[in-house]
Amino acid sequence: MLKEFINKQVTILFIDGGSVSGGTLIEMDEKFVKYQSPQSLNIIPITSIKSVTLQSGENHNATVRGFR
């Protein structure tokens, strides 16, 4: 199921509440995924992942402030 996200920019939320974002899922097998951010290459056990979210260029929850 995660194979759909290979070579796409994603955010990974971990079971312990931590997360990584701004990187790309570059490879995966039955036990691990490789996640590359501009700063590092992470090899993450699949059992520690809670969710994976595809990052898009738009933020639909952004608050717009100003006057019209």
Has residue 12 got a pLDDT over 50? Answer: yes
The third-level CATH classification (topology) of the domain covering 2-54 is: SH3 type barrels. (2.30.30)
Position 9 scores a pLDDT of 93
Asked if 28 and 34 count as a contact pair (C-beta separation under 8 A), the reply is yes
pLDDT digits (tens, 9 = 90+) for 13-64: 999 999 998 899 999 999 999 999 988 999 999 999 999 988 876 655 554 4
Cα distances (Å, whole numbers) of residue 24 to 17, 54, 63: 20, 10, 27
Position 60 scores a pLDDT of 57
Q: Is 18 exposed, middle or buried (0-12, 13-18, 19+ CB in 10 A)?
A: exposed
pTM, two decimal places: 0.76
